[in-house]
Amino acid sequence: MFVLKSIGGLAVALLTLAVHAAPVLPSLTGPGWTTDRYAPASWSNVGTFQGRNNVLGIGINDTTNAANRPAGQQGAFHNTQGRQIGITGVAGDSIAADLFLDQGWGSSTNGAVRTDLWGRAGLIGNEDGVTYPIIGFTNFGTGGARLRVWDGSIGWIDLATNVSSLLGTWVAFEIGALANGYEFFVNGALVYTDTSIGSAGGGFTNGFLQAFNFNEASVGLTQNPAYTARWSDAARNQVPEPGTLVLVALALTGLGFARRKQQA
């Protein structure tokens, strides 16, 4: 945000930034993302959506349901569909992305939805000790519309966050890597800590964005409506708009002018 300060009688705009862990997840619509588990019906830059630019759309429909997948890829494992990217992090780093919660997702009567941000930590090429922290949204099942996280020793944990108040807005998800677990954040607030999994190296090796294909007899929804999960680079990591950069430049110019005036 911007604040105004007076230096020698001159009002100057200063950009103030919140302090966060170092984000290590690359641009969601940039290069380097590869299919994980199974490719969704679409993965594309949908352009501008709800005030954000370069929004990623993960499209889910019956073209990638079990009946339309090749032999050997028809199990429930391949209902989770998305992409992953390799990253390098250390303890204290985080992965973050923002999800737009569509108004229609408030009830599964409009169609079942599930979409998540995943991380991976541990030795590459060795699944021993690897952990997969997850935070995301679903409206499937008896719990209704809810945010939830994956605890490595317990399983899915439904969060107490009031989802109805978040419908129709961008919601910021973040997972911070600890030396012995993870912290999960929603809109900057700590909502869950998992320190029961032991150390997995402390830093992320991969980031994932996934959505779930419910067009599957095993979950009882062979006719689930198509949906698109829209994700954006975390707002705090986005490049400032040109107008913002101009204000920053003016602020720096004003500081220089004020300093020279005081020295004269």
Among 43-47, 192-196, 257-261, the least confident range:
257-261
Helix (H, G, I), strand (E, B) or coil at 219: helix
What domain count does the chain have? 2
Instruction: Please give the C-alpha separations between residue 208 and each of 126, 135, 176, in angstroms, as whole numbers.
Output: 18, 11, 14
- Give the confidence band of 203 by pLDDT, cuts at 50, 70, 90: confident
42 lies in the same domain as 148 = yes
The per-residue pLDDT for 90 is: 86
pLDDT at 68 over 70: yes
Task: Tell me which H or E stretch contains 6.
Answer: strand 2-7
- CA nearest to 25, candidates 80, 83, 82, 86: 86
Task: Tell me which H or E stretch contains 259.
Answer: helix 242-263
Rounded average pLDDT over 5-26: 52
Dist. CA 129–CA 197, nearest whole Å:
9
182 lies in the same domain as 213 = yes
User: Could you list the residue range(s) of the whole structural domain that residue 254 is in?
Assistant: 1-21+238-264
pLDDT, tens only, 105-147: 999 999 999 999 999 987 555 555 688 999 999 999 989 999 9
142 lies in the same domain as 225 = yes
CATH of the domain at 156: 2.60.120
10 lies in the same domain as 31 = no
Rounded average pLDDT over 12-19: 40
pLDDT at 14 over 50: no
184 lies in the same domain as 148 = yes
